[in-house]
Amino acid sequence: MNNNEPIQVGVVGLGRSGWNIHIRTFRNMTDKFRVVAVCDINEARLEEAKTSLGCKTYARYEDFLGDQGIELVVVATPTYLHSPYSIMALKSRKKVVCEKPMATTTKDADEMIRVSKETGSLLTVFQNRRYGKDHIKVKEVIASGKLGRIVQIRMTMNSFGRRWDWQTLKEFGGGSLNNNGIHLLDRALQLMSEKEPEVFCHLDRALTLGDADDHVKIILKAPGEPLVDIELTSACAYPIESWLVMGTCGTLIGTPSELKWKYIKPEELSPRAVDKEPTPDRSYNREDLHWYEETWKEEDSLITQEMAFYTDLYRTIREGAPLAVKPEEVRKRIAIIEKCHKMNNL
């Protein structure tokens, strides 16, 4: 294979993710990726792809996997098919990008990893939100030490509204935790160490017409790590900031497009000691603090988080760079989701 040749891609599933995210991204990266085949049970979608992309189309997944021109398979099916379809592709010696969540159980995730190792076929998971510019900036600010020791991190994805599509049904692997909760968990664990966290989770059905969750609250705590508070709900008509990071020297707050953080410099504080004596005039302790404040706004860029994910993958496949999103680390996120579902019988 010529290292300068675009990666030959086959996409299975032409719904919201397959068409609106993956194929749209590949259209903007034609120097690195070329969609040569698609697979879907919807004939109209196949015709649309044939007309729009000029690629091969398949109604049967087995026939699609038999296409020797496909180098990389993107599994963008409903959630419950992620694991079996990925395993079939790996066994066909295809490289695989599996949509999130990787699987609905750790057993299935483990089997995917086992088959990948057994066949030598690359497996990665589409955790594109870790490439979000806000997430990258938050990591940068925390790493700078300006906020001091991080005490708590709150991450929210709040809205108000009903859903009634397949992603609201447990039989298809639906629910807000599986759908978008995996993104918040992935980000949260990147801000923590590799220590196994304790998990508290509350799941509820608030406005959904299906039988899966649409209200999620998760608390993560590991020894020596900040407490992480994750909230994802469709029952909040007054959404709060997406980010709140509290530290011993300051605080960061903001949204995906705008962040701000203020902090003190400990070396500028006057020396203090605990005083057991009554305070003058029965007052409370108070001191004037000199604050430093910084801001960040997302700049317009032609490079999306999806393109950043696929640029890293291209470097892995064509240039031998280390795999950026390893299935073993994503498996840890699936283990937490599995715990959450068991806690709530949802």
202 and 236 both lie in a single domain = yes
How far apart, in whole angstroms, are the C-alpha atoms of residue 277 and residue 251? 31
Residues 50 and 85 in one domain: yes
Asked if residue 313 and residue 294 are part of one domain, the reply reads no
Q: What is the pLDDT of residue 1?
A: 52
Same domain? For 160 and 294 the reply is: yes
pLDDT at 150: 98
Instruction: Determine the pLDDT at residue 216.
Output: 98
Answer whether residue 2 is part of any domain: no
Instruction: Note whether 118 and 34 are same-domain residues.
Output: yes
Position 343 in a domain: no
**Angle CA(129)–CA(130)–CA(135) in degrees, nearest 5?**
95
150 & 291 share domain? yes
For residues 138 and 181, state if they share a domain: yes
Q: What is the pLDDT of residue 332?
A: 96
- Stated pTM of the model: 0.94
The answer to whether residues 142 and 267 belong to one domain is yes
Is residue 336 in some structural domain? no
Q: What is the CA radius of gyration of the chain?
A: 23
Q: Does 28 reside within a domain?
A: yes
CATH classification of the domain holding 57: 3.40.50.720
User: Exposed, middle or buried, 8 (CB in 10 Å: 0-12/13-18/19+)?
Assistant: middle
Q: Are residues 153 and 218 in the same domain?
A: yes
Q: Model confidence over 135-158: pLDDT tens digits?
A: 999 999 999 999 999 999 999 999
Distances 128 to 97, 236, 311 between C-alpha atoms, Å: 11, 25, 11
Q: Can you read off the two tokens belonging to residue 54?
A: 């000029």
The answer to whether residues 57 and 140 belong to one domain is no
Residue 302's pLDDT is what?
79
Same domain, 57 and 201: no
* 179, part of any domain: yes
Give how many domains the chain has, as a whole number. 2
Low-confidence ranges of the chain (pLDDT < 70): 1-2
Q: Note whether residue 1 is domain-resident.
A: no
CATH of the domain at 196: 3.30.360.10
The secondary structure of 259-306 as a DSSP string is EEEEE--GGGSPP-----SPPGGGPPP------EEEEEEPPP-S--HH
Which domain, by its residues, includes 216? 132-272+285-299
Q: Amino acid identity, residue 191? A: L
Are residues 290 and 193 part of one domain? yes
Distance CA 105, CA 16 (A): 23
Q: What pLDDT shows up at residue 280? A: 87
332 inside domain: no
Residue 331 domain flag = no
